[in-house]
Each structure stands twice: as C-alpha cells, then as structure tokens.
C-alpha cells in the first residue's frame, strides 16, 4: 500500500474532520482543502491542485534513501525510506500545506501533513498587463493584481516613476446585470 503513496498540495481554506480507514484501522484526521463538495468516502482531497505519486522518485520504492530512526546496541532496528518530489507552486496569496497519503485515491489514508508554508511576499504585484490607452500610440497603461491596497510605485525608462491608482472590486461588481460605464475605457 505504501507504494501507492501520493502527495497533494492544499490551500488552507477550511478544515474537514473525517474518519479514514488506514490499513484496517480507523484514525481521526484533519485536512485543509479548497474543495467544498465531499465524496461518499467522507473526505475531500485537492486533486485539481496537483498531486504526485511518490513512486515518481525511483529511489523511494527500492528504499535507496534509507535512514535509521532507532538503534539498539549499534544495530538499526527502525528505519525509514525517503523520497523527494518537485511541485510547481504559484503565489495564491494564502498559505499552503503538503500531505502524505497511502492506499491510493480510492481509499486514502493520511500518514503525515506538513506545517503551513507561507509565500515570502504574498501581497506582491502579479500578472502585469501592458496595453495601449488609445489609437494614438502615445500612452500606455500597466495593470496588475496586488494583495496590497496601498498605492504602489511604477518605475519606467529614464528614471521616471508614477504612483498607481488603486481600484478594488468585489464579486458583485463582476456579476451585475448591466456593466458599469466606468468599467469601459
């Protein structure tokens, strides 16, 4: 069963408490996930966030990365096997966690969960977009998404800079029946 180990990364939105069967035993676990709908098994896993099987590391299955955890008179009596995986993670402006599961996707068994990992600068500007403001080609507009509501400085050629104008919108602003005239320029 351990060969079916898999690791997803999870966005911490809310906590799901569930009872999972682990190798014939029941164990109460907590897991943080972004997915709201619970399947029949009673737990939700963030498969769309990206998960990988540990078998992707060839050294894991043959235990070539063995570490001794407990010695008795110089003899190793408890050892563990290690493995490593790489994930491409984008700044989603919230902490993430990793969890190690066994028994595959159908009967998941949570073995270990990482502590919460913070992004180094979750409020930094992302997704810059440069566009022309009109057909004259004499001015440009730079827009971006930021987690910071304070105005920011934009620096450009010749050592010039300008302070940004902050616009904040909510879901209601995007879902109105008629678009706002101010949203078109």
Q: What is the DSSP letter of 3?
A: G
Report the pLDDT value the prediction gives residue 10, as an integer from 0 to 100: 61
Max CA separation in the chain (angstroms): 83
pTM of the model: 0.48
Encode pLDDT of 62-86 as tens digits: 677 788 888 999 999 888 877 776 7
| Dihedral angle sign, alpha carbons of residues 175, 178, 183, 184 | positive
CA geometry: angle 118, 121, 125, nearest 5 deg? 135
Encode pLDDT of 6-36 as tens digits: 666 565 433 433 434 455 554 444 443 333 3
Contact criterion met (CB below 8 Å) for 78 and 40: no
Encode pLDDT of 105-158 as tens digits: 677 777 777 788 788 888 888 888 899 988 888 888 888 888 888 888 888 888
Query: Domain segments of the chain: what residues?
Result: 2-113, 126-183
């Amino acid at each position: 069963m351990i060969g079916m180990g898999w690791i997803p990364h999870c966005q911490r939105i809310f906590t799901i408490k569930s009872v999972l069967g682990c190798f014939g035993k029941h164990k109460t676990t907590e897991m943080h996930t972004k997915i709201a709908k619970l399947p029949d098994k009673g737990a939700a896993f963030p498969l769309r966030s990206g998960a990988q099987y540990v078998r992707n590391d060839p050294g894991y299955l043959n235990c070539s990365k063995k570490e001794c955890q407990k010695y008795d008179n110089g003899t190793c009596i408890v050892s563990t096997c290690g493995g490593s995986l790489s994930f491409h993670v984008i700044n989603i402006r919230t902490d993430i966690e990793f969890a190690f599961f066994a028994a595959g996707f159908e009967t998941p068994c949570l073995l270990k969960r990482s502590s919460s990992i913070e992004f180094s600068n979750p409020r930094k500007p992302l997704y810059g977009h440069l566009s022309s403001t009109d057909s004259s080609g004499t001015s440009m507009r730079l827009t971006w998404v930021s987690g910071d509501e304070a105005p920011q400085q934009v620096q450009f050629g010749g050592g010039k800079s300008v302070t940004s104008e902050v616009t904040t919108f909510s879901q209601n602003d995007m879902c109105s029946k008629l678009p706002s005239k101010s949203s078109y320029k």
